[in-house]
Amino acid sequence: MSAIKAAAGTNATLLFTGFCKVTGWALYNHRNDKAVFLKLYDLARAPIVGTDVPSLKIGIPYATTGDAGTNRADSTLTAGHKFVNGLAYAITAGVADTDTTAVSLDDLIGKLDWTVRTD
């Protein structure tokens, strides 16, 4: 498990090098005007945001005051999403693979559940 907490920027981060799998997440969007996207990469280095292609994208919607509680994304993957080279991520404000729109401090917080693969 790794805590996810957005800093200002695209947050290009390497979590682990080697075989692993993502088994779930609980993520919260603290913006009130735009969705944010956690992009997961099968890489053994930090991603080059806008150039590397994500293996998995997770969109977290925004919520207006009247929609409190809808600004989250939760999921459990029974079989897991497998990564061969490693697990890296970035956080952007746009869904496109090539998007490089930075987020602000604390726009996205939560956790990413992952384990080392033994298969």
- Tens of pLDDT, residue by residue over 62-78, are 876 656 556 888 899 98
Give the C-alpha distances (Å, rounded to integers) separating 40 from 32, 58, 63, 75. 23, 8, 23, 15
Q: How many other C-beta atoms are found inside a 10 Å radius of the C-beta of residue 108? A: 24
Q: What is the pLDDT, as a whole number, of residue 74?
A: 87
* Beta carbons of 19 and 68 less than 8 angstroms apart: no
List Cα–Cα distances, 50 to 91, 93, 116, in angstroms: 11, 12, 27
Ranges 49-58, 71-80, 91-100: which has the least confidence: 71-80
Tell me the pLDDT tens digit for each residue of 1-54.
999 999 999 999 999 999 999 999 999 998 878 899 999 999 999 999 999 999
In the chain, where the domains are located? 2-116
State the residue for tokens 């999403």: 81
Question: Residue 7 has what DSSP assignment?
Answer: P
Rg (CA), the chain: 14
Q: How is the beta sheet containing 72-83 ordered, strand by strand?
A: 2-5, 108-116, 20-29, 72-83
pLDDT of residue 3: 96
pTM: 0.93
pLDDT at 67: 60
